[in-house]
Amino acid sequence: MSFIAKIKDKLFKKVGDKMESAAIKADEPAAAPAEVAPGAAPVIVDSPVPQLVSPSAVFPVELKAILPGAPPGGKIKFAHYWGAGCGGCDVSMLDIHEKILTVNDMADVVFWPIAVDGKVKDLEALDDGEITVTLFNGAVRNSENEHMLKLLRQKSTLLVAYGACAMWGGMPGLANMHNTEEIKKYVYTQTPTMSAFQDAQDSPVMPQETYQAPEGELHIPTLYDTVLAADDVVDIDYYVPGCPPQQTSINVLLGALVGHVYHGAALPPKGAIIGASEKSLCEECPRKKESRRITKVVEPYEIDVDPDQCLMDQGIICMGPATRAGCGSPCTQAGQPCRGCYGPTGAVSEQGASMLTAVASLFPVLDNDALIDEDEIIDIMSQVKDPLGYFYQFTLAKSLIKRAVKEKGGK
């Protein structure tokens, strides 16, 4: 029994009558779609900002029936897989709470390692395109990531790059500042625990890609020099940003699927970023902004953070000016700066450079400001403890920089 089925079973035991009354009976018609004004884009009402789904989509503005029953054409097939990532995107599906049961009613989960037992051979046995929708989270860091991404693309009608790592390489993409040999050398010989281990060996012990065991030849994936985003490897139909995607964004994606599967609504246009806005996070954040001049850069723990004032106004580097809205600004409302996990808006392609511009615009260098010289500007910028980690935490692998290179022979 899958964990979704177990959850469903437990909920029925606890609040069975309530859940049954919410379900659409098999002999009853599905709920009528909400009225949408001609030419208007439908929205999900529990989202912090209006979310464009499709110019012609029509589906309920909320999931009125948590347990809608199987779609008229039968259950769709659903898969969710991770590449190079932390696993948070897989777990984020539980952030939709009881609406996870809608997924169970709507779809058969054919492959989702974190949730159900499934084998790669079973996935390979499916017909091409048999999986209706697959969410792929994580970057492509090694040969296994690449193989599974290509296999899921082959077996899926719709493939969604789910989360920041799949969209831009995410934090694994920071490894692009080094090559594979440098990383292996540090991890396996220079960290304190491994250094002590290696000192006790006759010769360095390093991971091998193949090993002949009594049971047969074992293989581990090849670690690539360059971390890639999902669409660097295969064609992607839709994108859902975030680290991980927030509940509101997941609900928009789920709402689009429910509208399409149950009511025949049009899907979003190919390539759409689902559950996010073209606005910047600053436009979504409720903090009061005065565009104060930055004369000192601080971390939140170093000051008594004003609960109402813009964090940038307080000298805290916040990625809000260069980041797409849609998450609901939970970080800034909790007194922590935006990390930039929803990526750049459509107006810019280089999130890090956009943020550098935003920071520089707050230096006291205008005609009516007290003049500061170049050394003082350098001093302010040197207070940013980790510029790469601040400005390219999620997007380095998709940036113009992309990775560090070493010049050889003057070339």
Using an 8 Å Cβ cutoff, are 218 and 210 in contact? Answer: yes
Q: Which residue has the higher pLDDT, 238 or 37?
A: 238
The residue written with tokens 């609900």 in the block is 251
Together in a domain, 105 and 244: yes
Q: What is the CA radius of gyration of the chain?
A: 24
At 113, which CATH number? Answer: 3.40.50.700
Together in a domain, 242 and 332: no
| pLDDT grade for 138, boundaries at 50, 70 and 90 | very high
Angle, CA of 186, 187 and 191, to the nearest 5°: 80
Q: Which domain holds residue 204?
A: 183-222
User: What residue spans of 170-229 are helical by DSSP H?
Assistant: 180-185, 192-199
Q: Give domain status of residue 94, yes or no.
A: yes
Q: Give domain status of residue 408, yes or no.
A: no
Together in a domain, 191 and 159: no
Angle, CA of 108, 109 and 110, to the nearest 5°: 105
Task: Evaluate if residue 269 carries a pLDDT over 60.
Answer: yes
Together in a domain, 165 and 199: no
Together in a domain, 37 and 94: yes
Report how many domains make up the chain.
3
The residue written with tokens 């025949």 in the block is 264
User: In the predicted model, what is the mean pLDDT of residues 16-41?
Assistant: 33
Together in a domain, 72 and 117: yes
Task: Evaluate if residue 29 carries a pLDDT over 70.
Answer: no
> How far, in Å, CA of 382 to CA of 364, rounded?
16
Predicted structure pTM score: 0.82
Q: Give domain status of residue 337, yes or no.
A: yes
Q: What is the DSSP string of 68-132?
A: --S-TT--EEEEEEESBS-SHHHHHGGGGGGGHHHHHHHEEEEE-TTTS---HHHHHHSPTT-EE
Q: Closest Cα partner for 227 from 159, 162, 180, 160?
A: 180
Together in a domain, 110 and 230: yes
Q: Give domain status of residue 75, yes or no.
A: yes
Q: What is the pLDDT of residue 410?
A: 57
Q: Give domain status of residue 82, yes or no.
A: yes
Environment class of 384 (CB within 10 Å of its CB; exposed 0-12, middle 13-18, buried 19+): middle
Q: Closest Cα partner for 397 from 388, 408, 385?
A: 388
Beta-carbon count within 10 A of 406 CB:
5
Task: Evaluate if residue 143 carries a pLDDT over 50.
Answer: yes
Together in a domain, 194 and 240: no
Together in a domain, 329 and 240: no
To the nearest whole number, what is the mean pLDDT of the chain? 83
Together in a domain, 286 and 312: yes
Together in a domain, 232 and 318: no
Together in a domain, 58 and 202: no
